[in-house]
Amino acid sequence: MSLRLVVLLVLLGLVRSAFAAAPSLQLTLPPAFYAVPGVPMSVYFDNVVLTETPESYRFDVTCPIGESEARRWTVTPTDAHVGRHVFTLVVRDAQGAELQRARTLLHVAPRDAGSGGSLRLLIVGDSLTNATHYPNELARLLSTPGNPRWTMLGTHRPASAAPGVAHEGYGGWTWKSFLSLYTPADEKTAAGPLARKRTSPFIFPAADGTPQLDIARYVREACAGQAPDVVTFLLGINDCFGANPNDPAAMDKSIGAALDHAEKLLATFRAACPQTTFAVGLTTPPNARESGFEANYKGKYHRWGWKRIQHRLVQRMLTQFGGREAQGIVIVPTELNLDPVDGYPVNNGVHPNVTGYQQIGASFYAWLKWRAQSAGR
Protein backbone atom coordinates (compact mmCIF):
# COMPACT_ATOMS: atom_id res chain seq x y z
CA MET A 1 0.00 0.00 0.00
CA SER A 2 1.44 3.38 -1.01
CA LEU A 3 2.14 6.07 1.55
CA ARG A 4 -0.29 8.38 -0.25
CA LEU A 5 -3.10 5.86 0.07
CA VAL A 6 -2.35 5.36 3.75
CA VAL A 7 -2.53 9.12 4.33
CA LEU A 8 -5.81 9.34 2.44
CA LEU A 9 -7.30 6.49 4.46
CA VAL A 10 -6.17 8.10 7.73
CA LEU A 11 -7.67 11.44 6.72
CA LEU A 12 -10.90 9.77 5.66
CA GLY A 13 -11.03 8.02 9.01
CA LEU A 14 -10.51 11.29 10.85
CA VAL A 15 -13.30 12.96 8.88
CA ARG A 16 -15.66 10.08 9.60
CA SER A 17 -14.74 10.13 13.29
CA ALA A 18 -15.26 13.86 13.52
CA PHE A 19 -18.63 13.57 11.78
CA ALA A 20 -19.68 10.75 14.08
CA ALA A 21 -18.63 12.73 17.13
CA ALA A 22 -20.34 15.93 16.00
CA PRO A 23 -23.17 16.79 18.36
CA SER A 24 -26.75 16.81 17.18
CA LEU A 25 -27.63 20.47 17.67
CA GLN A 26 -31.36 19.81 17.26
CA LEU A 27 -32.06 23.39 16.25
CA THR A 28 -35.61 23.98 17.46
CA LEU A 29 -37.77 27.01 16.69
CA PRO A 30 -41.50 27.43 17.29
CA PRO A 31 -43.73 28.08 14.27
CA ALA A 32 -44.10 31.74 15.28
CA PHE A 33 -43.08 34.31 17.86
CA TYR A 34 -44.41 37.74 18.68
CA ALA A 35 -43.40 41.33 19.32
CA VAL A 36 -44.93 44.79 19.92
CA PRO A 37 -43.57 48.24 19.06
CA GLY A 38 -41.49 49.66 21.89
CA VAL A 39 -40.98 46.34 23.71
CA PRO A 40 -37.60 44.58 23.22
CA MET A 41 -37.80 41.01 21.93
CA SER A 42 -34.90 38.60 21.39
CA VAL A 43 -34.01 35.09 20.33
CA TYR A 44 -31.13 33.80 22.47
CA PHE A 45 -29.16 31.29 20.47
CA ASP A 46 -28.28 29.09 23.44
CA ASN A 47 -32.00 28.48 23.97
CA VAL A 48 -32.65 26.93 20.56
CA VAL A 49 -29.78 24.45 20.17
CA LEU A 50 -28.65 21.46 22.18
CA THR A 51 -25.02 22.05 23.03
CA GLU A 52 -22.86 22.81 26.04
CA THR A 53 -20.77 25.24 23.99
CA PRO A 54 -22.94 27.58 21.90
CA GLU A 55 -19.96 29.90 21.62
CA SER A 56 -18.32 27.29 19.35
CA TYR A 57 -20.86 27.97 16.60
CA ARG A 58 -21.90 30.83 14.37
CA PHE A 59 -25.53 31.88 14.21
CA ASP A 60 -26.62 33.74 11.10
CA VAL A 61 -30.08 35.31 11.10
CA THR A 62 -31.92 36.57 8.05
CA CYS A 63 -34.82 38.84 8.98
CA PRO A 64 -35.83 42.21 7.54
CA ILE A 65 -35.83 43.78 11.01
CA GLY A 66 -33.62 43.44 14.09
CA GLU A 67 -29.92 42.79 14.42
CA SER A 68 -27.65 39.94 15.48
CA GLU A 69 -25.26 40.09 18.42
CA ALA A 70 -22.86 37.51 19.80
CA ARG A 71 -25.45 35.64 21.87
CA ARG A 72 -28.74 36.72 20.37
CA TRP A 73 -30.78 38.32 17.66
CA THR A 74 -32.78 41.26 19.03
CA VAL A 75 -35.28 43.88 17.97
CA THR A 76 -37.27 46.70 19.50
CA PRO A 77 -39.92 47.15 16.82
CA THR A 78 -41.30 50.46 15.67
CA ASP A 79 -44.80 51.10 14.39
CA ALA A 80 -43.43 50.73 10.87
CA HIS A 81 -42.52 47.11 11.63
CA VAL A 82 -46.10 45.96 12.31
CA GLY A 83 -46.82 42.86 10.25
CA ARG A 84 -45.33 39.45 9.52
CA HIS A 85 -41.61 38.86 9.01
CA VAL A 86 -39.84 35.67 7.95
CA PHE A 87 -37.03 34.76 10.35
CA THR A 88 -34.40 32.24 9.24
CA LEU A 89 -31.61 30.99 11.49
CA VAL A 90 -28.57 29.13 10.14
CA VAL A 91 -26.10 27.46 12.49
CA ARG A 92 -22.54 27.12 11.18
CA ASP A 93 -19.38 25.57 12.52
CA ALA A 94 -16.25 27.62 13.25
CA GLN A 95 -15.17 27.31 9.59
CA GLY A 96 -18.49 28.62 8.30
CA ALA A 97 -19.97 25.35 7.07
CA GLU A 98 -23.73 25.16 7.44
CA LEU A 99 -24.85 22.60 10.02
CA GLN A 100 -28.57 23.27 10.41
CA ARG A 101 -31.20 25.86 9.53
CA ALA A 102 -34.73 26.59 10.65
CA ARG A 103 -37.42 29.10 9.81
CA THR A 104 -40.15 30.78 11.82
CA LEU A 105 -42.44 33.81 11.54
CA LEU A 106 -42.25 36.96 13.63
CA HIS A 107 -45.60 38.67 14.11
CA VAL A 108 -45.40 42.30 15.21
CA ALA A 109 -48.77 43.44 16.55
CA PRO A 110 -49.86 47.09 16.64
CA ARG A 111 -49.20 48.87 19.92
CA ASP A 112 -52.93 49.70 20.19
CA ALA A 113 -54.18 46.15 19.50
CA GLY A 114 -57.10 45.45 21.84
CA SER A 115 -57.59 49.09 22.79
CA GLY A 116 -61.12 49.77 23.98
CA GLY A 117 -61.79 46.09 24.71
CA SER A 118 -61.48 44.04 27.85
CA LEU A 119 -59.37 41.10 28.97
CA ARG A 120 -60.03 38.62 31.76
CA LEU A 121 -56.77 36.78 32.33
CA LEU A 122 -55.98 33.76 34.51
CA ILE A 123 -52.30 32.87 34.99
CA VAL A 124 -51.43 29.31 36.09
CA GLY A 125 -47.96 28.07 36.95
CA ASP A 126 -45.31 26.93 39.38
CA SER A 127 -42.67 28.83 41.37
CA LEU A 128 -41.84 31.04 38.40
CA THR A 129 -45.41 32.31 38.56
CA ASN A 130 -45.48 32.30 42.36
CA ALA A 131 -42.57 34.76 42.36
CA THR A 132 -45.11 37.11 40.70
CA HIS A 133 -42.52 39.15 38.79
CA TYR A 134 -43.74 38.21 35.33
CA PRO A 135 -47.44 38.71 36.23
CA ASN A 136 -46.43 42.12 37.59
CA GLU A 137 -44.65 42.90 34.32
CA LEU A 138 -47.70 41.79 32.36
CA ALA A 139 -49.83 44.13 34.47
CA ARG A 140 -47.40 47.01 33.86
CA LEU A 141 -47.38 46.46 30.11
CA LEU A 142 -51.15 46.03 29.93
CA SER A 143 -51.52 49.33 31.80
CA THR A 144 -49.70 51.31 29.11
CA PRO A 145 -51.73 53.29 26.54
CA GLY A 146 -53.40 51.33 23.77
CA ASN A 147 -54.40 48.29 25.80
CA PRO A 148 -57.70 46.71 26.84
CA ARG A 149 -59.17 47.04 30.29
CA TRP A 150 -57.70 44.08 32.12
CA THR A 151 -58.64 41.92 35.08
CA MET A 152 -56.36 39.26 36.51
CA LEU A 153 -58.25 36.36 38.03
CA GLY A 154 -57.04 33.98 40.71
CA THR A 155 -57.09 33.29 44.43
CA HIS A 156 -53.38 33.85 45.02
CA ARG A 157 -52.23 37.41 45.71
CA PRO A 158 -48.78 37.29 47.28
CA ALA A 159 -47.36 40.29 49.12
CA SER A 160 -45.15 40.92 46.08
CA ALA A 161 -48.15 41.32 43.77
CA ALA A 162 -48.72 44.74 42.23
CA PRO A 163 -52.21 46.25 42.51
CA GLY A 164 -54.73 44.13 40.62
CA VAL A 165 -52.32 41.22 40.14
CA ALA A 166 -53.52 37.71 41.00
CA HIS A 167 -52.77 34.23 39.72
CA GLU A 168 -52.66 30.52 40.53
CA GLY A 169 -48.92 29.96 40.83
CA TYR A 170 -47.37 27.72 43.49
CA GLY A 171 -43.80 26.66 44.13
CA GLY A 172 -42.97 23.07 43.26
CA TRP A 173 -46.25 22.41 41.45
CA THR A 174 -46.73 20.36 38.30
CA TRP A 175 -49.51 19.85 35.76
CA LYS A 176 -50.56 16.90 37.91
CA SER A 177 -50.68 19.04 41.06
CA PHE A 178 -53.51 21.11 39.65
CA LEU A 179 -55.38 17.90 38.82
CA SER A 180 -55.00 16.02 42.07
CA LEU A 181 -53.63 17.92 45.08
CA TYR A 182 -56.25 18.07 47.82
CA THR A 183 -55.98 18.19 51.60
CA PRO A 184 -59.25 18.87 53.45
CA ALA A 185 -57.44 20.59 56.32
CA ASP A 186 -56.33 23.31 53.93
CA GLU A 187 -59.94 24.33 53.48
CA LYS A 188 -60.13 25.16 57.18
CA THR A 189 -57.04 27.34 57.51
CA ALA A 190 -57.68 30.95 58.40
CA ALA A 191 -55.63 32.21 55.46
CA GLY A 192 -57.46 29.94 53.04
CA PRO A 193 -56.15 29.80 49.47
CA LEU A 194 -53.55 32.50 50.14
CA ALA A 195 -51.56 29.93 52.10
CA ARG A 196 -52.45 27.02 49.87
CA LYS A 197 -49.67 24.46 49.61
CA ARG A 198 -51.46 21.15 49.29
CA THR A 199 -54.83 21.84 47.65
CA SER A 200 -55.41 22.72 44.03
CA PRO A 201 -57.61 25.79 43.53
CA PHE A 202 -59.55 23.75 40.97
CA ILE A 203 -60.45 20.86 43.30
CA PHE A 204 -63.47 20.95 45.61
CA PRO A 205 -65.16 18.40 47.88
CA ALA A 206 -68.22 16.76 46.38
CA ALA A 207 -71.36 16.20 48.47
CA ASP A 208 -69.87 13.02 49.90
CA GLY A 209 -66.56 14.72 50.65
CA THR A 210 -64.72 13.17 47.71
CA PRO A 211 -62.33 15.61 46.02
CA GLN A 212 -63.46 16.58 42.55
CA LEU A 213 -61.83 18.58 39.77
CA ASP A 214 -64.45 21.23 39.09
CA ILE A 215 -63.45 24.12 36.84
CA ALA A 216 -67.05 25.27 36.52
CA ARG A 217 -67.24 25.75 40.29
CA TYR A 218 -63.92 27.57 40.26
CA VAL A 219 -65.32 29.98 37.66
CA ARG A 220 -68.44 30.53 39.73
CA GLU A 221 -66.68 31.09 43.03
CA ALA A 222 -63.32 32.62 42.06
CA CYS A 223 -64.17 34.40 38.80
CA ALA A 224 -67.58 35.87 39.66
CA GLY A 225 -69.21 33.37 37.34
CA GLN A 226 -67.56 34.74 34.20
CA ALA A 227 -65.01 32.55 32.38
CA PRO A 228 -61.56 33.95 31.59
CA ASP A 229 -60.87 35.16 28.08
CA VAL A 230 -57.38 33.71 28.32
CA VAL A 231 -55.70 31.19 30.62
CA THR A 232 -51.91 31.00 30.45
CA PHE A 233 -49.91 28.03 31.68
CA LEU A 234 -46.19 27.97 32.47
CA LEU A 235 -45.33 24.54 33.84
CA GLY A 236 -43.06 21.58 33.18
CA ILE A 237 -39.94 22.15 35.26
CA ASN A 238 -41.12 20.21 38.30
CA ASP A 239 -42.82 17.57 36.15
CA CYS A 240 -39.61 16.60 34.38
CA PHE A 241 -36.63 17.92 36.35
CA GLY A 242 -35.88 14.55 37.93
CA ALA A 243 -35.92 12.60 34.64
CA ASN A 244 -32.75 10.78 33.63
CA PRO A 245 -31.16 12.69 30.73
CA ASN A 246 -28.83 9.75 30.06
CA ASP A 247 -31.79 7.45 29.35
CA PRO A 248 -33.72 8.91 26.40
CA ALA A 249 -36.54 6.37 26.67
CA ALA A 250 -37.06 7.06 30.38
CA MET A 251 -36.80 10.79 29.77
CA ASP A 252 -39.47 10.62 27.07
CA LYS A 253 -41.68 8.55 29.35
CA SER A 254 -41.46 11.21 32.05
CA ILE A 255 -42.21 13.96 29.54
CA GLY A 256 -45.09 11.93 28.12
CA ALA A 257 -46.65 11.58 31.58
CA ALA A 258 -46.44 15.34 32.09
CA LEU A 259 -48.09 16.00 28.74
CA ASP A 260 -50.85 13.51 29.55
CA HIS A 261 -51.60 15.50 32.71
CA ALA A 262 -51.51 18.71 30.70
CA GLU A 263 -54.04 17.29 28.25
CA LYS A 264 -56.38 16.29 31.04
CA LEU A 265 -56.25 19.73 32.68
CA LEU A 266 -56.73 21.49 29.34
CA ALA A 267 -59.65 19.23 28.42
CA THR A 268 -61.35 19.95 31.75
CA PHE A 269 -60.87 23.68 31.28
CA ARG A 270 -62.15 23.53 27.71
CA ALA A 271 -65.29 21.69 28.78
CA ALA A 272 -66.09 24.36 31.37
CA CYS A 273 -64.87 27.37 29.35
CA PRO A 274 -65.42 26.58 25.65
CA GLN A 275 -64.82 30.17 24.49
CA THR A 276 -61.56 30.62 26.39
CA THR A 277 -58.13 30.62 24.74
CA PHE A 278 -55.52 28.45 26.48
CA ALA A 279 -51.95 29.66 26.01
CA VAL A 280 -49.27 27.10 26.87
CA GLY A 281 -45.89 28.68 27.55
CA LEU A 282 -42.91 26.62 26.41
CA THR A 283 -40.87 25.54 29.43
CA THR A 284 -38.07 28.01 30.06
CA PRO A 285 -34.35 27.19 29.57
CA PRO A 286 -31.78 26.91 32.36
CA ASN A 287 -29.24 29.34 33.67
CA ALA A 288 -26.20 29.16 31.39
CA ARG A 289 -23.93 28.78 34.44
CA GLU A 290 -23.27 25.49 36.21
CA SER A 291 -22.73 27.56 39.36
CA GLY A 292 -26.47 28.12 39.61
CA PHE A 293 -27.09 24.38 39.74
CA GLU A 294 -24.23 23.78 42.16
CA ALA A 295 -25.64 26.42 44.51
CA ASN A 296 -29.07 24.77 44.48
CA TYR A 297 -28.36 21.06 44.12
CA LYS A 298 -24.79 20.50 45.36
CA GLY A 299 -23.85 18.17 42.51
CA LYS A 300 -27.05 16.12 42.45
CA TYR A 301 -28.40 17.85 39.33
CA HIS A 302 -26.43 19.61 36.63
CA ARG A 303 -27.06 22.27 34.05
CA TRP A 304 -26.35 20.02 31.07
CA GLY A 305 -28.71 17.37 32.39
CA TRP A 306 -31.62 19.78 32.72
CA LYS A 307 -30.76 21.44 29.42
CA ARG A 308 -31.18 18.11 27.62
CA ILE A 309 -34.48 17.44 29.35
CA GLN A 310 -35.82 20.95 28.80
CA HIS A 311 -34.85 20.94 25.12
CA ARG A 312 -36.61 17.64 24.55
CA LEU A 313 -39.62 18.83 26.54
CA VAL A 314 -39.94 21.91 24.31
CA GLN A 315 -39.77 19.71 21.22
CA ARG A 316 -42.50 17.45 22.58
CA MET A 317 -44.66 20.44 23.56
CA LEU A 318 -44.38 21.87 20.06
CA THR A 319 -45.58 18.56 18.63
CA GLN A 320 -48.27 18.07 21.27
CA PHE A 321 -49.85 21.53 21.23
CA GLY A 322 -48.97 22.88 17.80
CA GLY A 323 -51.71 23.38 15.23
CA ARG A 324 -54.56 23.24 17.74
CA GLU A 325 -55.85 26.77 17.47
CA ALA A 326 -59.28 25.44 16.47
CA GLN A 327 -59.45 23.84 19.92
CA GLY A 328 -58.49 27.10 21.59
CA ILE A 329 -54.98 25.85 22.43
CA VAL A 330 -51.97 27.91 21.38
CA ILE A 331 -48.23 27.95 22.06
CA VAL A 332 -46.41 30.96 23.51
CA PRO A 333 -42.62 30.76 22.92
CA THR A 334 -41.57 31.89 26.40
CA GLU A 335 -38.26 30.04 26.00
CA LEU A 336 -36.85 32.29 23.26
CA ASN A 337 -36.67 35.68 24.94
CA LEU A 338 -35.15 34.65 28.31
CA ASP A 339 -31.48 35.60 28.56
CA PRO A 340 -29.72 32.50 30.01
CA VAL A 341 -26.86 34.67 31.32
CA ASP A 342 -28.07 38.14 32.32
CA GLY A 343 -31.61 36.93 32.98
CA TYR A 344 -30.47 34.69 35.85
CA PRO A 345 -28.66 35.20 39.14
CA VAL A 346 -25.36 33.38 39.52
CA ASN A 347 -26.78 31.17 42.27
CA ASN A 348 -29.98 29.70 40.83
CA GLY A 349 -30.39 27.12 38.11
CA VAL A 350 -34.00 27.55 36.98
CA HIS A 351 -35.39 30.72 38.60
CA PRO A 352 -34.62 33.93 36.68
CA ASN A 353 -33.77 37.28 38.18
CA VAL A 354 -36.15 40.23 37.77
CA THR A 355 -34.79 40.95 34.27
CA GLY A 356 -35.46 37.38 33.18
CA TYR A 357 -38.95 37.39 34.63
CA GLN A 358 -39.70 40.62 32.80
CA GLN A 359 -38.60 38.95 29.56
CA ILE A 360 -41.11 36.16 30.20
CA GLY A 361 -43.78 38.77 30.83
CA ALA A 362 -42.90 40.50 27.56
CA SER A 363 -43.31 37.23 25.66
CA PHE A 364 -46.80 36.66 27.05
CA TYR A 365 -47.69 40.32 26.47
CA ALA A 366 -46.58 40.27 22.82
CA TRP A 367 -48.67 37.16 22.20
CA LEU A 368 -51.71 38.76 23.91
CA LYS A 369 -51.37 41.77 21.64
CA TRP A 370 -51.18 39.54 18.56
CA ARG A 371 -54.28 37.68 19.78
CA ALA A 372 -56.12 40.97 20.24
CA GLN A 373 -55.17 42.02 16.71
CA SER A 374 -56.28 38.68 15.28
CA ALA A 375 -59.58 38.78 17.16
CA GLY A 376 -60.26 42.26 15.82
CA ARG A 377 -59.98 41.31 12.18
Q: Any idea what the CATH number is for the domain that residue 125 is in?
A: 3.40.50.1110
Q: Alpha-carbon distance 75 to 186, whole Å?
A: 46
Residues 177, 52: one domain? no
What confidence score (pLDDT) does residue 198 get? 83
Mean pLDDT of 192-202: 71
Residues 159, 46: one domain? no
Q: Alpha-carbon distance 282 to 295, whole Å?
A: 25
Residues 154, 64: one domain? no
Q: Alpha-carbon distance 281 to 283, whole Å?
A: 6
Residue 223 domain-assigned (yes or no): yes
Residue 145 domain-assigned (yes or no): yes
CB 23 within 8 A of CB 51: yes
Residue 319 domain-assigned (yes or no): yes
CB 36 within 8 A of CB 365: yes
pTM exceeds cut of 0.85? yes
Residues 183, 67: one domain? no
197 band by pLDDT with thresholds 50, 70 and 90: low
Predicted confidence (pLDDT) per residue in 15-54, tens digit:
333 333 345 899 999 999 999 999 999 999 999 999 999 9
Mean pLDDT of 354-367: 98
Structure-model confidence comparison of residues 21 and 136, the more confident one: 136
Provide the CATH number for the domain around residue 64. 2.60.40.10
Residues 70, 146: one domain? no
What confidence score (pLDDT) does residue 314 get? 98
Residue 233 domain-assigned (yes or no): yes
196 band by pLDDT with thresholds 50, 70 and 90: low
Mean pLDDT of 98-109: 98
Is it the case that residue 253 has pLDDT exceeding 60? yes
108, 136, 153 - which closes a domain: 108
Residue 85 domain-assigned (yes or no): yes
Residues 82, 124: one domain? no
Q: Alpha-carbon distance 216 to 202, whole Å?
A: 9
Residues 104, 151: one domain? no
What confidence score (pLDDT) does residue 11 get? 37
55, 80, 108 - which closes a domain: 108
Residues 214, 299: one domain? yes
Mean pLDDT of 68-95: 98
Domain tally, the chain: 2
Residues 98, 165: one domain? no
Is it the case that residue 178 has pLDDT exceeding 70? yes
Residue 77 domain-assigned (yes or no): yes
Residues 146, 79: one domain? no
48, 74, 108 - which closes a domain: 108
Q: Name the residue range of residue 48's domain.
A: 24-108
Q: Alpha-carbon distance 67 to 114, whole Å?
A: 28
Residues 155, 296: one domain? yes
Residues 244, 345: one domain? yes
